[in-house]
Structure 1
Amino acid sequence: MSPLAALNSPSPADLWEMDHSHHLHPWTNFGSFQKEGSLVITRGEGCWLWDADGKRYLDSVGGLWCTNIGLGRREMAQAIADQAERLAFSNTFVDMANDPSARLAAKIADLAPADLNRVMFTTGGSTAVDTAVRMVAYVQSCLGFPEKTGIVARDHSYHGSTYLSQSVGKRPGDRVPEFRYKEDGIWHLTPPNPYRRPAGMTEAEFCDMLVAEFEELIARVGADRLGAFIAEPIQASGGVIVPPEGYLRRMWEVCQRHGLLFIADEVVTAFGRLGHWFASEAEFSVVPDIITTAKGLTSGYVPLGAMIFSDRLWDIMGQDPDRWFTAGFTYSGHPVACAAGLKNIEIMEREDLLGNASRMGALFQSRLKALEDLPLVGQVRGRGLMICSENVMNKTTKEPLPDGVNESKRISNAAEAMGLIVRPMAHLNVMSPPLTISEDEVEFIAVTLEKAIRQVTDELVREGFRLG
């Protein structure tokens, strides 16, 4: 077949080769990519994907935490097409607006907690976090504290992949020696992971330790140099870390005492993942100053992010009429993306997908918790429709297997062969299915993942590992 024919009417092998020869993927591992290439997906419907060869998979990862309303929605496609035909682009710089961005901003303000009534649209979660961090410096300067710009985050956090947002995050494996990161003005605290708390310490004592660590950092660095604390309500890509009871509320109280803004990174947890529009207040009794979001805002149909902030911050920044907030993107408030966001929320409301997420989330957590009976699984943790299983070599000491064993990737490979996609990350297997998931689909995930873990466990035992 000629190169042009292959480009226009590619076979599955042609698609694999095109990708293998020309595509640099996010987080490419060169060794495995050169050897194995990629799984080429060509169709999606609901929770299911089909590859180029026609094989079907249940996508328990939900794309990347994002396909909340499920794939293949004709009315979403139609809303996107209608808006593209009517107004494909209109910039929102300075004093320009378009009708979908105005309506979506108002809808988000209606759904967000308390006085978080102001919205700045971005291109995704990374740029939402990037913008939020810049806003911290702007607000603190307006308050008369131009040096109060430092950001406090946590280890094992993921906040995006721009230069600034990846510097704020600090997930193992993301920091590579070939790249440089912003080090000055950013501090990281112990992740609030109860499973990895010091031996002999209760969860309540662990929470006390984490809050005291924050207070000690403020005392050491100086509150006059620290502008904000940023936290995912549940640390998603860092290991689905659900913090100890009361942790986020107490960290918010520390921020209140020392004049730090509280940024809730809800790129994953907003728009239904935990059964709420936003998780900070509903799940953790915290009203942030700023919320960043993306992913479920459009359920991945088109890229869109948003930074949502309080009327109080707006008033602070707007006191001087000669000020300019010089941040934004060509595609901020893109009319097609905002039309998709509006239709996405409409579907979620009409079909009570938050309610389904709550009901199926409880079943999902209960059903997968049973995996802890397997010798390779140290803990299954999560909340709502986000969960991970952590693999260990010794369940008593929680010692992981050596990194080179790649047991989580082997589990995901085994599951994939059985028609289930799970996400391997270090010693974890992570899942975040669409909010449309059914009881039968939850059962398929639980049964298939158990089979995959048992298969890999048998392989590891034959290779000489002692597990349990």
Structure 2
Amino acid sequence: MDNSNVKHWDNDHFLHPWEGMATLGKNDRTFIEGASGIHVMNEKGERLIDGPGGMWCTQIGYGREEMAEAMAEQARNLAYFSPFNNSNSTTARFAREIAKRAPGDLNNVFFTTGGSTAVDTAIRFVHFRNNLLGRPEKKKIISRQKAYHGSTFLAASVSGKERDRHWLDKADDLAHFLPDVNPLYRAPGQSEESFLKEKVSDLENAIVALGPENVAAFIAEPVLASGGVIVPPKGYHESCLNICKKYDVLYISDEVVTAFGRLGHWFASETVFGIQPDIVTCAKGMTSGYAPMGAAIISDRLIADVAGKDATFSNGYTYSGHPVSAAAGLKSMEIIEREKLLEHVRRVTPIFQDQLQQLGQIDIVTDVRGMGLMGCVQCSVDGDPQSDLGCDYEIGSQIDIECQKRGLLVRPVINMCVLSPPLIISESEIEQMFDVLRKGLEATSTWLSGIRGQ
């Protein structure tokens, strides 16, 4: 196939997510044209380890013939049904399998098109429930700085990544943001225990200041993924849940990234962090990236509050519960269980995290952090975590260039490299991935020294 024109077509016609207007129509993106296992192949035929796992989502790896067959069989039998008026056995089975694995009484699965629409659905249901309970003023959503919950209007409104909030309108009256929960930025000499108490107090103080009668929910990622793989201090989520219960505030656990095996369990909220949320949102690994899908999973207790009312939850999507996506989800779930991938993740996590920590010795690295098969390497020119934004972008871009030269695809998030490889990655492949990343970081450090010496 002649691909000589595709870069022009890409620049002329494909508006990408987070498209920078300054470079619009002038980008030289890597084209991913094939993949197998943990590797992707670019337009030059070069094989690269997929460090970010697509975008946190390729749990079982690429090129699974049985996934393609399951999706093709479903498409041949039934490619689509209207979820507004009908149902389908494949989708119903998938809902049941998710409910069986979700924590506590989270038995009600509302299928969406992805993570953003899952969060929108969760917020809309919270508002819907409060309207039916006769408390229409109870609508505020508390979130956190650095949190990312999506790019649809409501989801973006409760996302706290400052640099994403500059140019687009949001429902500013809806959201309230707590200060950064990253232990890296605690006060000099402050213990982690003291930092934990401070962060929990931030939540309680916000609820009291806003008025419990006005606060509907607290939304939190177990690990703040796109914000830089920020792991809150131990006990944070449990303490926050207790505060929410005290003031009748619902707890939405945004597991778009952490669910379906990223931390070695189907869901992380209960098993890893010891909390029973009122709503869990998920997407990403639901289908291992083979088809778009997300879900908001709602507790029986909340459903009981609205069941039997003369009202309609007027929320939904043409592709809610799409049967081909549901078939992909069922097959992915089957593969994860058959190949014991959750156990595998738990077994290789110490190797992954040890390799990650060793990168902290490199001079441009200011912090390394992670959990499960999630990691972040944060860099700066002068070893200052609060370095210049322009320099930060340059560092991230150069690390990407140096790693791709050596056979590793990374995801630069400004001055951070985030890692979330396919769950099937082996011990030797983990070591290979970090070896390439180390060389890429060292080469970037040398490049920076050359630039600064001129």
Fold conserved (TM > 0.5)? Answer: yes
Alignment of 1:22 onto 2:13: yes
Alignment CA distance shift 1:449-1:114 (3 Å): same
Between the aligned partners of 1:132 and 1:430, the Cα distance in structure 2 is 27
Q: Give the aligned partner of residue 449 of structure 1.
A: 437
Q: Give the aligned partner of residue 347 of structure 1.
A: 335
Q: How many angstroms does 1:33 deviate by?
A: 5.4
Alignment of 1:167 onto 2:154: no
Cα deviation 1:45-73 (Å, max 9, x = unaligned) = 11101112211111111000000110100
Q: Give the aligned partner of residue 228 of structure 2.
A: 239
Alignment of 1:335 onto 2:335: no
CA contact (8 A) 1:15 1:40 kept: no
CA contact (8 A) 2:378 2:416 kept: yes
Cα deviation 1:77-115 (Å, max 9, x = unaligned) = 00000000001111111x521011110010001000111
Which one of the candidate residues 428, 438, 463 is aligned to 2:451?
Answer: 463
Q: Give the aligned partner of residue 100 of structure 2.
A: 110
Q: How many angstroms does 1:440 deviate by?
A: 1.8
Q: Give the aligned partner of residue 358 of structure 2.
A: 370
What does residue range 44-55 of structure 1 map to in structure 2 within 5 Å? 44-55=35-46
What does residue range 158-197 of structure 1 map to in structure 2 within 5 Å? 158-177=148-167, 179-197=168-186
Alignment of 1:61 onto 2:69: no
What does residue range 255-270 of structure 1 map to in structure 2 within 5 Å? 255-270=244-259
Q: Give the aligned partner of residue 325 of structure 1.
A: 313
Which one of the candidate residues 390, 410, 420 is aligned to 1:403?
Answer: 390
Between the aligned partners of 2:362 and 2:162, the Cα distance in structure 1 is 26
Alignment of 1:389 onto 2:377: yes
Residue type of the alignment partner of 1:242: V
Residue type of the alignment partner of 1:197: R
Q: How many angstroms does 1:219 deviate by?
A: 1.4
CA contact (8 A) 1:230 1:264 kept: yes
Residue type of the alignment partner of 2:112: T
Q: How many angstroms does 1:32 deviate by?
A: 4.4
Q: How many angstroms does 1:200 deviate by?
A: 2.0
Q: Give the aligned partner of residue 65 of structure 2.
A: 74
What does residue range 180-329 of structure 1 map to in structure 2 within 5 Å? 180-320=169-309, 322-329=310-317
Deviates further, 20-29 or 290-299:
20-29
Q: How many angstroms does 1:246 deviate by?
A: 0.6
Residue type of the alignment partner of 1:458: T
Deviates further, 401-410 or 150-159:
401-410
Q: How many angstroms does 1:394 deviate by?
A: 4.3
Q: Secondary structure at the match of 2:272?
A: helix
Residue type of the alignment partner of 1:231: A
Residue type of the alignment partner of 2:221: E
Q: How many angstroms does 1:194 deviate by?
A: 0.4
CA contact (8 A) 2:53 2:421 kept: yes
Alignment CA distance shift 1:402-1:90 (3 Å): closer
Q: Give the aligned partner of residue 414 of structure 2.
A: 426
Residue type of the alignment partner of 1:167: S
CA contact (8 A) 1:393 1:399 kept: no
Q: How many angstroms does 1:74 deviate by?
A: 0.3
Between the aligned partners of 2:202 and 2:382, the Cα distance in structure 1 is 29
Between the aligned partners of 1:301 and 1:402, the Cα distance in structure 2 is 35
Deviates further, 155-164 or 360-369:
360-369
Q: Give the aligned partner of residue 417 of structure 1.
A: 405
CA contact (8 A) 2:380 2:395 kept: no
Corresponding residue pairs, total: 453
Q: How many angstroms does 1:460 deviate by?
A: 1.3
CA contact (8 A) 2:58 2:289 kept: yes
Q: Secondary structure at the match of 2:368?
A: strand
Between the aligned partners of 2:46 and 2:140, the Cα distance in structure 1 is 49
Residue type of the alignment partner of 2:125: M
Deviates further, 358-367 or 292-301:
358-367
Identity among equivalent pairs (%): 44
Between the aligned partners of 2:290 and 2:163, the Cα distance in structure 1 is 28
Cα deviation 1:402-453 (Å, max 9, x = unaligned) = 5335202211111011110111112211110000001121111111111111
CA contact (8 A) 1:267 1:293 kept: yes
TM (normalized to structure 1)?
Answer: 0.94
CA contact (8 A) 1:126 1:162 kept: yes
CA RMSD of aligned residues (A): 1.5
TM (normalized to structure 2)?
Answer: 0.97
Q: How many angstroms does 1:150 deviate by?
A: 0.8
CA contact (8 A) 1:62 1:434 kept: yes
Between the aligned partners of 2:185 and 2:414, the Cα distance in structure 1 is 15
Q: Secondary structure at the match of 1:128?
A: helix
What does residue range 25-44 of structure 1 map to in structure 2 within 5 Å? 25-32=16-23, 34-44=25-35
CA contact (8 A) 2:381 2:448 kept: no
Q: Secondary structure at the match of 1:91?
A: coil
CA contact (8 A) 1:122 1:328 kept: yes
